[in-house]
Amino acid sequence: MYTKNSMKNITLSAQDDLIDKARRIAANKNSSLNIMFREWLEELNNSQTSNSQEDKLKELWEKTNYVKVGKKLSREEMNER
């Protein structure tokens, strides 16, 4: 998946306690902070190429725009097809 030739080293800064907690989380997942960061970075890049959460929410809103909030439906009304 990752090759040495395609990787670049970077330096990040964060609070000691956050790094310690993140390392424990990674260890509990049989992973490392470095691997989890790479996965997060990949996910971040993938999410930028696909629809953002906001776009997905707007799309869902448009699809369900016909739904009107109002009176509470009876059991029979909810089960109508």
Is the Cβ–Cβ distance between 8 and 14 less than 8 Å? no
Instruction: Tell which wins on pLDDT, 61 or 27.
Output: 27
pTM metric for this prediction: 0.51
Return d(Cα 66, Cα 39) in angstroms, integer.
39
Residue 71 has pLDDT above 80, yes or no: no
Tell which residue, 30, 42, 33, 62, has the closest CA to residue 2.
42
Which pLDDT band, with edges at 50, 70 and 90, does 59 fall under?
confident
